[in-house]
């Protein structure tokens, strides 16, 4: 995702944080080159602080140090690494370099500007559920991320076994909003294993990331798709609390898994709100795909697409060509961006005093 929307002071703070981390790393001696063998290609399947788990071509996984010249390393990165020549050590290799990424999913961070989440993905499975809450606004946020990154989205609604007939009709109406504008929607149940074959087919041959709020059942879905049973290899998960109706949070670090039928998936920690405040308002507008044919047809070039006279998008809403719920979601996202940018400026200002 593209450019930051930070003031010069904020950019200086981000740069200072980065330089401080580099200095902390520079104070530590690099491992002796003689301890490592020939360089080879691998894939980062997880990142833990100053270490990464790298998968070799033969499927073996090695806990590696990271050269301090590497500024950014995330799950999904393709890397050049060297295995340790001495067996039995906790750290079994070192990451030397990172190959060019085909894509990188990022989210804004108060102190680091924009923080990478995962690399080289070509599909984002946006997982929602009727519990703890079905939030169309969060779905819309992830769709903006997909459109900005130019990565294909897949909408997955989990826990559909909890719906009665009336509830299913309501949810179908909600999901039809997205089907009408070209998005694929799958209705599944990890508990009853309904719809998993169709989901499995949609994931085959792709590098996907499962994204969504905590408690929507991302890890439960992955357990079912990967065929994992209770034991050491199971993805950490907890059921929704009977008291609160909220998921008791699960994944603690992003990790890449291979599906038995082909294709890879990155399971990342759940986020309650996907921040977009590092994007320009024009990028948010472009992220609503049904708006695009009306852009450039407003009476005024600086139209805010709200109550402005001659707004082509507002007219499309009134004519039923754009769903009103999506239009309202668009403005809520823009408003939240303005609020977050103001809070961020205050935070940077206070921390700089």
Cβ-proximal residues to 335 (8 Å cutoff; 6+ apart), any chain: none
Please tell me whether 216 is known to bind a ligand: yes
Please tell me whether 220 is known to bind a ligand: yes
DSSP-derived pairing of the beta strands 152-158 and 123-129: parallel
β-bridge partners, 335:
none
Please tell me whether 64 is known to bind a ligand: no
DSSP codes, 318-332: HTTSS-HHHHHHHHH
Please tell me whether 135 is known to bind a ligand: no
Please tell me whether 252 is known to bind a ligand: no
Please tell me whether 148 is known to bind a ligand: no
Please tell me whether 248 is known to bind a ligand: no
Please tell me whether 159 is known to bind a ligand: yes
Please tell me whether 60 is known to bind a ligand: no
Please tell me whether 305 is known to bind a ligand: yes
Rounded CA gap, 184 and 195, in Å? Answer: 13
Please tell me whether 218 is known to bind a ligand: yes
Please tell me whether 4 is known to bind a ligand: no
Q: What is the DSSP letter of 304?
A: -
Please tell me whether 32 is known to bind a ligand: no
> Radius of gyration of the chain from Cα atoms?
22
Q: What is the DSSP letter of 352?
A: H
> 80: which 2 tokens?
């050049």
Rounded CA gap, 318 and 312, in Å? Answer: 10
Please tell me whether 247 is known to bind a ligand: no
Please tell me whether 137 is known to bind a ligand: no
Alpha-carbon distance values, 253 to 8, 85, 118, 183, 313 (Å): 32, 28, 11, 29, 41
Tell me if the bond preceding 308 is cis, omega within 30° of 0: no
Tokens 């003689």 map to which residue?
A: 34
Q: State the Cα angle at 7 between 4 and 8, rounded to 5°.
A: 110
Please tell me whether 146 is known to bind a ligand: no
> 1: which 2 tokens?
């995702």
Please tell me whether 298 is known to bind a ligand: yes
Binding site residue list for GTP: 158-161, 212-220
Binding site residue list: 158-161, 212-220, 298, 303, 305, 311
Binding site residue list for Zn(2+): 298, 303, 305, 311
């Amino acid at each position: 995702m593209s450019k930051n929307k930070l003031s010069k002071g904020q950019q200086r703070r981000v740069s200072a944080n980065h330089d401080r981390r580099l200095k902390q790393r520079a104070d530590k001696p690099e491992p002796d080159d003689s301890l490592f063998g020939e360089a080879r290609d691998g894939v980062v399947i997880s990142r833990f602080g100053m270490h990464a788990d790298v998968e070799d071509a033969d499927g073996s996984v090695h806990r590696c140090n990271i050269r301090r010249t590497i500024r950014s390393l995330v799950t999904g990165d393709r890397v050049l690494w060297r295995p340790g020549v001495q067996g039995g050590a906790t750290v079994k290799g070192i990451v030397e370099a990172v190959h060019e990424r085909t894509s990188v999913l990022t989210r804004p961070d108060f102190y680091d500007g924009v923080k990478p989440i995962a690399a080289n993905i070509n599909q984002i499975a946006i997982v929602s559920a009727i519990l703890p809450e079905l939030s169309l606004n969060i779905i819309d946020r992830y769709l903006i991320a997909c459109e900005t990154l130019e990565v294909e989205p897949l909408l997955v609604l989990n826990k559909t076994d909890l719906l009665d007939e009336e509830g299913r009709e309501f949810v179908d109406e909600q999901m039809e909003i997205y089907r009408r504008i070209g998005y694929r929607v799958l209705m599944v149940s990890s508990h009853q294993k309904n719809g998993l074959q169709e989901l499995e087919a949609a994931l085959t041959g792709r590098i996907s990331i499962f994204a969504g709020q905590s408690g929507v059942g991302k890890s439960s879905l992955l357990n079912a798709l990967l065929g994992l049973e209770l034991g050491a290899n199971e993805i950490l998960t907890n059921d929704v609390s009977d008291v609160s109706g909220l998921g008791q949070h699960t994944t603690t670090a992003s990790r890449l898994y291979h599906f038995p039928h082909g294709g890879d998936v990155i399971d990342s920690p759940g986020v309650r709100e996907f921040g977009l405040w590092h994007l320009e308002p024009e990028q948010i507008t472009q992220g609503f795909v049904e708006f695009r044919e009306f852009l450039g047809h407003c009476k005024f070039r600086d139209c805010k697409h709200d109550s402005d006279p001659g707004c082509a998008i507002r007219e499309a809403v009134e004519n039923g060509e754009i769903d009103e719920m999506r239009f309202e979601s668009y403005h809520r996202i823009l408003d939240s961006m303005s609020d977050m940018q103001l809070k961020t400026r205050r935070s940077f200002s206070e921390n700089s005093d």
